[in-house]
């Protein structure tokens, strides 16, 4: 038997119906559409309202259900579910256990993985390890966050950045030379001061004071994080490219964490890849933390072809960051006719979105 690789064989996704645009954001904090578009590149973000559902597991369950329906994979054949998130429904039980229970995945084990915005990158590596060990064949990797549950809508420095959403991929064993080929993952443990949620964990338990002091929200020093994100993601992309003989002429896609459109452009410039080879959806998805990479795959899936060379990169609290190299395993067009919930009334269709995206890239 040849070497076992772990390859993505399907993508599912889900975003809440409610769309918070910059106009509405300007009624919440002192900001403007011009500032947000120029400094961040976000126009609209999806927000999970209690009347639609609650918790990250709600969104991930929808995404996994779509993945299973679309691929036709037997739910009983799923060996594991990894949920990358930093907005767990509860400290315990895990978000993964809730998803497994909701969908009755009888033969799956599962766990949550917290690496902030780099979570999905780490989780893909974990899934690949499970598969390449030979003991597990099908692993679902979810990435997503209910960021509005920890966004301080009194802080204009952070609240325009974030949105809610989740997506997932099915990773399977293959002997073909496709799938996750290499990963370069890092943590420096020095990022606390610049990016954290101060209370709610065992170091500072919830209390009246922590609520009054608004310590259960994201705290970010944007400029410092920006500098680290640009440098560390760019370095990681260059490292993974050099290790695998990749360059601007043979990379098909860069999939960067959607934190700021200026960061994404800077990372693409560093490796010299033109922007029409960079997946970008920050304008209508915002920063969904662990959700950004799989949500990009979900939206770009019909454009992906077997053999595409893809570099993923992300950066998050910790600091955590890295890059992974993947050879894509199937023609995404095979799922083009699949009705996704994304088509639901009132939301832009996938065709319209690609047309818009291509025009913007010309």
Residues serving a catalytic function are 117, 257, 287
**Shortest gap between Cβ of 12 and ligand UT7 (angstroms)?**
23
Give the per-residue SS3 of the chain. CCCCEEEEEEEEEECCCEEEEHHHHHHHCCCCHHHHHHHCCCCEEEECCCCCCCCHHHHHHHHHHHHHHHHCCCHHHCCEEEEECCCCCCCCCCHHHHHHHHHCCCCCEEEEECCHHHHHHHHHHHHHHHHHCCCCCEEEEEEEEEHHHHCCCCCCCCCCCECEEEEEEEEEEECCCCEEEEEEEEECCCCCCCEECCCCCCCCCCCHHHHHCCCCCCEECHHHHHHHHHHHHHHHHHHHHHHCCCCCCCCCEEEECCCCHHHHHHHHHHHCCCHHHECCCHHHHCECHHHHHHHHHHHHHHHCCCCCEEEEEEEECCCEEEEEEEECCCCHHHHCCCCCHHHCCCCCCHHHHHHHHHHHHC
* Binding-site member from 157, 239, 265, 338 for ligand UT7 (CB under 6 A): 157
Residue 118 or 251 having the CB closest to ligand UT7: 118
Total number of residues that touch ligand UT7 (CB under 6 A): 20
**Shortest gap between Cβ of 325 and ligand UT7 (angstroms)?**
22
Residue nearest to ligand UT7 (CB): 222
Tell whether residue 75 is a contact of ligand UT7 (CB under 6 A).
no
Residue 55 or 160 having the CB closest to ligand UT7: 160
Stretch that binds ligand UT7, among 78-86, 120-128, 154-162, 178-186 (CB under 6 A): 154-162
Stretch that binds ligand UT7, among 62-70, 120-128, 141-149, 256-264 (CB under 6 A): 256-264
10 Å Cβ neighbour count for 267? 28
* Binding-site member from 42, 117, 261, 279 for ligand UT7 (CB under 6 A): 117
* Interaction residues for ligand UT7, span 39-68 (CB under 6 A): 39-40
* Binding-site member from 9, 17, 31, 239 for ligand UT7 (CB under 6 A): 31
Residue 48 or 229 having the CB closest to ligand UT7: 229
Residue 41 or 110 having the CB closest to ligand UT7: 41
Output the furthest CA–CA distance in the chain (Å, rounded): 62
10 Å Cβ neighbour count for 209? 10
* Interaction residues for ligand UT7, span 303-342 (CB under 6 A): 315-316
* Binding-site member from 144, 160, 165, 256 for ligand UT7 (CB under 6 A): 160
Residue 105 or 218 having the CB closest to ligand UT7: 218
Residue window 208-247: x/- pattern of binding to ligand UT7, with contact defined by CB under 6 A = --------------xx-xx--x------------------
* Interaction residues for ligand UT7, span 267-306 (CB under 6 A): 287
Binding site for ligand UT7 (CB under 6 A): 31, 35, 39-40, 117, 156-157, 160-161, 222-223, 225-226, 229, 259-260, 263, 287, 315-316
């Amino acid at each position: 038997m040849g070497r076992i690789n772990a390859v993505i064989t399907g993508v599912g996704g889900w975003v809440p119906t409610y769309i918070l645009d910059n106009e509405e954001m300007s009624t919440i904090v002192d900001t403007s559409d011009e500032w947000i578009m120029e400094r961040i590149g976000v126009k609209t973000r999806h927000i999970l309202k209690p009347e639609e559902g609650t918790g990250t597991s709600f969104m991930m369950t929808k995404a996994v259900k779509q993945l299973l329906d679309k691929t036709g994979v037997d739910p009983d054949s799923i060996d594991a579910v990894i949920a990358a998130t930093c907005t767990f429904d509860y400290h315990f039980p895990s978000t993964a256990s809730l998803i497994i229970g909701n969908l009755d995945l009888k033969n799956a084990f599962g766990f949550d993985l917290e690496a902030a915005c780099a979570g999905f990158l780490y989780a893909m590596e974990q899934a690949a390890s499970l598969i390449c060990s030979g003991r597990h064949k099908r692993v679902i990797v979810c990435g997503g966050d209910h960021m509005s549950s920890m966004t301080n809508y009194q802080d204009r420095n952070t609240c325009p950045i974030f949105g809610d959403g989740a997506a997932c991929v099915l990773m399977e064993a293959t002997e073909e030379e496709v799938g996750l080929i290499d990963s370069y993952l890092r943590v420096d443990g020095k990022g606390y001061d610049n990016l954290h949620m101060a209370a709610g964990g065992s170091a500072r338990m919830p209390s009246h004071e922590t609520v009054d002091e608004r310590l259960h929200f994201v705290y970010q020093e944007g400029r410092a994080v920006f500098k680290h994100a640009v440098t560390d993601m760019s370095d990681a992309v260059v490292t993974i490219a050099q290790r695998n003989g990749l360059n601007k002429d043979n990379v098909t896609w860069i999939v960067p964490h959607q934190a700021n459109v200026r960061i994404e452009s800077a990372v693409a410039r560093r490796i010299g890849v033109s922007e029409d080879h960079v997946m970008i959806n920050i304008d209508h998805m915002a920063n969904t933390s662990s959700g950004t990479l799989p949500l990009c795959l979900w939206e770009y899936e019909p454009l992906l072809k077997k053999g595409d060379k893809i570099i993923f990169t992300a950066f998050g609290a910790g600091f955590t960051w890295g890059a992974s190299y993947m050879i894509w395993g199937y023609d995404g067009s095979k799922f083009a006719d699949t009705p996704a919930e994304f088509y639901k009334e009132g939301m832009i269709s996938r065709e319209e979105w690609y047309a818009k995206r291509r025009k913007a890239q010309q």
